Amino acid sequence: MAQSNPSIVILGGGFGGLYTVLRLSQFPWPQGRPSITLVDQHSRFVFLPLLYELVTRELETWEIAPPFSSLLANTSIQFRQDRVERIDLAQQQVALHSGETLDYGYLVLALGGETPLDLVPGAAEYAVPFRSVDDAHRLTARLSQLETSAQESIRVVVAGAGPSGVELACKLADRLGDRGRIRLIDRNDSILKQSPSFNRTSAQKALDNRGIWIDLDTALKQVTADSVVLNYKGQDDTIGADLVLWTVGNAIAQPIQDLPVAHTAGGRIPTTATLQLAEYPHIFALGDVADSVDANQAQVPATAQAALQQSSCAAWNIWALINHRSLLPFRYTHLGEMLTLGTETAALAGLGVTLDGPLASVARRLVYLTRMPTLDHQVKVGLNWVVKPFLEALQPK
C-alpha cells in the first residue's frame, strides 16, 4: 500500500488532470512535498471550449493551447510527454510508451475521451474529428486548400448536432460565407438534445440565418473521399462532400478499458462520492473516464465544467489522505451552458440567466478567461484581447 509520503501520478492533462495538479501544487505539505508527475501525450493543454475560434482565426493557438512547460514552470510538478501503455494495479506502476515506468502511491485517472472514427465505414480514412489542436490545424489546412481552389461552392458535412457539431457548423458558415454549403446530420429528432430550450432556440435561429441544412432522424452510413451516404426513414441517399467533420461519440482510452475493475457499458469506471475507486481508494477517476454520482446522488455529466469541479475535490481528497484529514464528497453544481454560434455571437443559459447575441459572446469569453489554468496565462490572454483590436485598427486596409 501507499507509503507515508508517496508519489502522486496524474494521467491526462485536460481539465480534470491539469487542474488537479495545479491545485495540489498550491497546498501546504507539513510532512514534505510529495513527488507529483503529470503525464499527457501532447505538449499542450487545450482549452476545448475555445477550440472553435481557431477555425475562424479569432484566437491564436498559444491563447487556447499553452504548453504544459509554461503552465508548470513555477511549480515543482514533473511533466512527461508520453503515452500511457499499461496500468499495473498490483504493482502500483504506470508503463509509458517510451519504456519508462512510474511508481505511484496515489493515481488520478483523467485521460479523457477520444472521438471514435470506427462507427461507420470510411470515417477513419476521410472524416476529420475535432477534439485537439492537431485536429483544428488539420481542418484549417483543408479549408485553406478548398478556399484557394477554383470550385464555386465548398460542401461540408458535420456529423452530430450536439454542442460541438452546432458550434462548428456556425463557425464554418461564417468563415466560408457564400461559398459554404454546410449540412448538419443527426440521428435524433432535434438539435442539442440535452441543452436548455433557450440555447436550442438561439442555435436554431443561428443555423437558419446562415443557411445551414439540418437533416434530423438521419443516419450517416458511409464516408468516401468525396461523398457521404445518408439514411432517412430506411432510404439511402448519396450526396457530395468536400469535407466531413466528425463530432459523434466518445471512446474511453484503451489503458482505462484494460483495467481489471468494474466498467459501465460505455467503458467508464464507477467511483464513490469521493471520486475514488471503491476497491482501490488510492486511485481517483475524473471526467470522461469516470461514472460518478455526487453527494446528492445525482449523476455527474462527462463535461469540461464537471471535470474542472472534480479536480478541486480530488486534489483535496488526495491531500487529506496523505495528511490524515477528512475526505469530502463531490458536490456538482451545474453552471449552465454556453455556446458559440458564429463569430462574435453566442448563447448562454444558466443560474437563472439567458442571453444571446454579441453581448453573450463577450460574456462567454470573459467567463472562460477566468477559468484558464493559471493567473499568468489569464493576464497574457486578457491583455492580448484588449490590445489586439487597437493593433488591427492601425493596420492599413
3-state secondary structure labels for all residues of the chain: CCCCCCCEEEECCCHHHHHHHHHHHHCCCCCCCCCEEEEECCCECCCHHHHHHHCCCCCCHHHHCCEHHHHCCCCCCEEEECCEEEEECCCCEEEECCCCEEECCEEEECCCEECCCCCCCCHHHHEEECCCHHHHHHHHHHHHHHHCCCCCCEEEEEECCCHHHHHHHHHHHHHHHHHEEEEEECCCCCCCCCCCHHHHHHHHHHHHHCCCEEECCEEEEEECCCEEEEEECCEEEEEECCEEEECCCCEECHHHHCCCCCCCCCCCEECCCCCEECCEEEEEECHHHEECECCCCCECCCCHHHHHHHHHHHHHHHHHHHCCCCCCCCCCCCCCEEEECCCCCEEEEECCEEEEEHHHHHHHHHHHHHHCCCHHHHHHHHHHHHHHHHHHHHCCC
- Give the model's pLDDT for residue 287: 94
User: Tens digit of pLDDT for each residue in 180-231?
Assistant: 999 999 999 999 999 999 999 999 999 999 999 999 999 999 999 999 999 9
Domain 123-246 has CATH 3.50.50.60: yes
Provide the H-helix boundaries in 230-303.
254-257
The structural domains of the chain, with segments of one domain joined by +, span: 123-246
- Give the model's pLDDT for residue 393: 65
| Full-model pTM | 0.92
- Give the model's pLDDT for residue 3: 44
- Give the model's pLDDT for residue 351: 87
User: For the chain, which residues score pLDDT lower than 50?
Assistant: 1-3
- Give the model's pLDDT for residue 74: 87
- Give the model's pLDDT for residue 2: 41
